[in-house]
Chain A
Amino acid sequence: MVATATRPGRAFARKRKQAPDAEGTVTVGRSKSATFFANLAGIVFSIIMLFPVYWVINTSFKPGPEVLQFTPSFLPEHPTLDNFISAFKAPLFLQDMLNGLIVTVLAVLGALVVGFMAALAIARFQFYGRKAIILIVLAVQLVPFLALLIPLFLMLQKADLTDSLIGVSITYLVLLLPYTVWTLRGFIAGIPRELDEAALIDGCSRFQVFWRIILPLTGPGLVATSVYGFIQAWNEFIIINTLNSPEKQNLMAWLLQNQTNRGTAWGPLMAGAIITSLPVVIFFLAIQRNIAAGLTAGAVKG
């Protein structure tokens, strides 16, 4: 996103630099003081937005007594890594980290394989029932998953899949599938059909077209979609908290449990929160552009 946002931004800035000589009268309402206040407002806004993020980092490096201080210090007076170490050493932290990884990877891979095929069908074929499939995919995306938790819990209970990583993986797969199909559809639709046709004329089979043309060209889309899926599954905690016992939960559920169990241990908790968020934040920043595009695709064009 940073890239896209700056690209038009840069063009804009360049235009504005030329503006005074070329079309000076047009910059009405862009007086120097107004621009100064706009810049000031932007900076103040950013600082307010960042404050909670700064505060969690600040807290996580403080030793215990400094965290529980009536006059909070705005920089750790005695910075320490103790909170991070104690988070790692805390019961179930590593176990739940591993659980979260397993569940997430299984769900993402499953959603990717199943979703890619469906996306291919929607994007590349005109067939009876195509609209119905699109409708199902879109509608399903909006069903409040929490509402389905009760019957899902009962179903998995019957199948003996509660308190198991497999049960949660399957549930997450379903959770990720609609978005996966919808985004991949966009990526596939972006590949010119002429490429398929050229390959068909050159004697490729349909399968070869998928395998050799569409799949490699969808590569970036597959990466972006799976990263977003990773974030989604990694951040989930309600389902896994309801279905599984603490030994088979993920880090988000761990954070929630620890908040409730150890009321005032904010230092280790915030350190744990940072460790848990780190992969998500990094991944998010890497693929941010696609997330917004997937949610509002085409709306800009009207």
Chain B
Amino acid sequence: MGALPVDIKAIVPPALRRQRDIHAGDRRFFHATRAVALLVTLVLLGLLVQLGNLSLPVLQTSGFGFLINQNWDPVAGDFGALSFIHGTLVSSLLALLISVPVSVGVALFLTELAPRRVSLVLGFLVEMLAAVPSVVYGLWGIFVLAPLVRTEIGPALREYLGFLPLFKGAPYGVGMLPAGILLAIMITPTIASLCREVFRAVPVAQREAALALGGTRWESISIGVLRATRSGVLGAVVLGLGRALGETMAVTMVIGNRAQISASLFAPAQTMASVIANEYAEATEELHLAALAATGLVLFFVSLLINSGARFLIWNVDREARGGRSKKAGTSQVPTPVLAVPQGGES
């Protein structure tokens, strides 16, 4: 603004001049942090673009047929992801089947029954389950769980439930069953800790009301707590499912790695994540690499969908709990910054 007849800077007293500088600093700080934060968004976009780019050859040649073709033959160049989608879904559902009763049980025990000290220690141990690296679970799966499935669990299941197609054939050890069990162990802390949060949000009065009516402890839990938190528990379960879908190493190590669709849980299988882990470093054909990347793309969208669903369910619970007079409101209350965002910021 050199056209101004007077130099404004010379008129403004020094103190006010500093004020203006302060805001300039704030603006710079705001823009700088926002630029860095947007890197995360950039990475997400880049990830999508690159995955699409890598899998382009397959998308061009087979398109959606890729999803319903169950052949996977790198030698013949015939690629379809159906058997992996099947493997991912079945192993994850099996994991849920095993893990949900245990996780909900442990969460209830910790919030409703256990004395404070027991609850602290046990809760910590459950969370430590989540800290153990996947590859260590896989190692344990290969040398402890798989032999156990071969010699104990498998034969027992076959003897009592052998009439079901699920338990046909000889248990090799590796296969869908041990993968499901390992996944169950790995998602238990996820489901349990979320369920704990959800149960904790239930007002004490609701439990006491059931007790005051002459209900037993269990009735107070089932009527006062479980019935009120169904959607929250569902959210926790779906989030557990999301974790199971993407879990790679432990599954790769015990699932047997064979692209096939078999009704039997004893049969080896392959999941979307495990096939990438298994073959990507060694694949040389362009189409093979692209097919693996396309599998990754499918996995990305499936896990995005599942996780968004779970978040939506949990967010609903959160809102309800905040709307009501929950006991937790005091601790979860977030100090909303009353300070305005510097100008030139958000629209």
Q: Do A and B bind each other?
A: no
Q: CB within 8 Å of A: which residues of B?
A: none
Q: CB within 8 Å of B: which residues of A?
A: none
